Amino acid sequence: MTALLTLNNVHVHFNTAAGLVRAVNGVSLDLGAGETLGLVGESGCGKSTLGKAIMRLVPVSTGEIRVEGTDIAQLQGSALTAMRRKVQMIFQDPYGSLNPRSTVGRSVAQPLVLAGWKPEAVAERVDTLLGWVGLPTDAKQRYPHEFSGGQRQRIGIARALALNPRLIVCDEPVSALDVSVRAQVINLLEDLKAEFGVSYLFISHDLSVVEHIADRVAVMYLGTIVEIGSRDRIWRQPQHPYTKALLAAAPIADPKLARTRTRTVLQGELPSPLEPPAGCPFHSRCPIAQARCKTERPVLRATGDSAQAACHFI
């Protein structure tokens, strides 16, 4: 089976006034058709930048991004436009991701119009799409400010689905939503996946949401993947000390479970990506770091069936 999305040693570097920021620093991963890959990490770890790089919203410095075998990392013009139909994105901010001066119908129709659909076909498709995400068709004539956050996120999902993409990059799609509405959107995403076989790259800082929705999980720290594996593997037998710390820190909505588990609180905070530590990026906060970690950067190694971690001491 060829993977739907293959990242090969992807780097995204930004030149800023303060110096070179290595936001994404050598990421490789595969995502199969119909799979949901969760991408977790704390703010500044590069997970959103990686999502944007896949969408080609930020320039890729080096590395390959293959969608169904074609490297799109440096594509331009019409070849890029053709590829964009296969990969779509759902954004974090339901208030910012829709043009406030466009009707909902116009926003949802946008990808279709750009793809050269005929007006009648566009109108029909928009009705279908709004139906799929559970919005009334009279929503078409209305403006985004007339809708709640959850409804707007549905509009964003309808827009992303318009051209039957193979992959949807979800950048923190439920972080801005209230608990009850968040569950609605997560369920909708799962229903759509079951119906259309679409794959998700699900970027989130919320471990419990990722645990619920993802088949596999990749953990990022300072621009690199420190551990990747199946959901159960990551939750039951985390190998990397950062993954362990992240799981220990995540609050659990069950007071009895919360009291019984041992809780090692990770000290310190994320180092600045302007001056990433030499060697293992995590060594400055790692409870098991040794001299070797300060000089030698660990690579991802297999730690079991389809699981990999980047640590010298596994």
Partner 1 sequence: MERFAFLGRFARNRGALAGTVIILLVAFAALSAPVFFPTDPLRMVAQPELWPGEDPAFPLGTDSLGRDMLAMLVHGARATLLIGLFASAVATLIGVSVGAAAGYFGGWIDETAMRAVELFQTIPNLIFVLTIVVILGSTLHNIVIAIGIVSWTPIARMTRAEFLALRDREFVQACRSMGMGDFGIIVREILPNALPPVIVLSSLVVAGAILFESAVSFLGLGDPNIASWGRLVGDGRELIRSSWYICAIPGVAIMVTVLCLNLIGDGLNDALNPKLRDR
Partner 2 sequence: MAAVPLEVSDLRTTLFTRRGEMKAVDGLSLSVGAGETVALVGESGCGKSLSALSIMRLLPDPPARIVGGAVKLNGRDIVPLSEESMLDIRGKEIGMIFQDPMSALNPVATIEKQIAEVVMAHTGLGRFQARARAHELLEQVGIPDAARRLDAYPHQLSGGMCQRVVIAMAIACSPSVLIADEPTTALDVTVQAQVLTLLKRLQAEAGMAMIFITHDLGVVAETADRVVVMYAGRKVEEAAVDDLFEAPLHPYTAGLIGATPVPGAVRAERLADIPGMVPPLNALPPGCAFAPRCPRAMDRCRTERPALTEPRPGRRVACFAAEKGPT
Q: How far is the CB of 280 from partner 1 (least distance, A)?
A: 33
Residue 93 as a binder of partner 1 (CB under 8 A): the answer is: yes
Distance between CA atoms of 63 and 28, rounded to whole angstroms?
9
User: What tokens were used for 6?
Assistant: 């293959």
Residue 28 as a binder of partner 1 (CB under 8 A): the answer is: no
Q: How far is the CB of 12 from partner 1 (least distance, A)?
A: 15
Q: How far is the CB of 173 from partner 1 (least distance, A)?
A: 11
Is beta strand 19-31 parallel, antiparallel or unpaired with respect to 5-16?
Answer: antiparallel
Mask: binding to partner 2, 269-298, rule CB under 8 A, as x and -? xx----------------------------
- Applying CB under 8 A, among 40, 89, 157, 293 the residue interacting with partner 1 is 89
Residue 219 as a binder of partner 2 (CB under 8 A): the answer is: no
Residue 250 as a binder of partner 2 (CB under 8 A): the answer is: yes
Distance between CA atoms of 310 and 72, rounded to whole angstroms?
27
Q: In what order do the strands lie in the sheet with 87-90?
A: 87-90, 167-171, 199-204, 36-40, 216-221, 224-230, 307-309, 301-304
- Applying CB under 8 A, among 92, 153, 199, 303 the residue interacting with partner 1 is 92
Q: Which residues pair with 171 in a beta bridge?
A: 203
User: What tokens were used for 188?
Assistant: 């909708």
Nearest to partner 2 of 88, 224 (CB atom): 224
Nearest to partner 2 of 116, 255 (CB atom): 255
Distance between CA atoms of 84 and 96, rounded to whole angstroms?
21
Residue 262 as a binder of partner 2 (CB under 8 A): the answer is: no
Distance between CA atoms of 96 and 76, rounded to whole angstroms?
27
* 209 three-state secondary structure: helix
Residue 166 as a binder of partner 1 (CB under 8 A): the answer is: no
207 binds, among partner 1, partner 2, none (CB under 5 to 8 A by kind): partner 2
Say which residues have a Cβ less than 8 Å from residue 55's Cβ, sequence separation at least 6.
84, 87, 89, 169
The interface with partner 2 within residues 25-64 (CB under 8 A) comprises 42-43
Token pair 């901010």 is found at 93
Residue 265 as a binder of partner 2 (CB under 8 A): the answer is: yes
Say which residues have a Cβ less than 8 Å from residue 65's Cβ, sequence separation at least 6.
5, 6, 7, 8, 10, 53, 54, 71, 72, 73
Distance between CA atoms of 59 and 18, rounded to whole angstroms?
19
Residue 245 as a binder of partner 2 (CB under 8 A): the answer is: yes
The interface with partner 1 within residues 98-157 (CB under 8 A) comprises 98-102, 107, 110-111, 114, 143, 156
Nearest to partner 1 of 25, 92 (CB atom): 92
Q: Which residues bind partner 2 (CB under 8 A)?
A: 42-43, 148, 150-151, 178-184, 186-187, 190, 205, 207-209, 211-212, 235, 245-258, 263, 265-267, 269-270
Q: Which residues bind partner 1 (CB under 8 A)?
A: 52, 55-57, 80-81, 84, 88-89, 91-93, 96-102, 107, 110-111, 114, 143, 156, 159
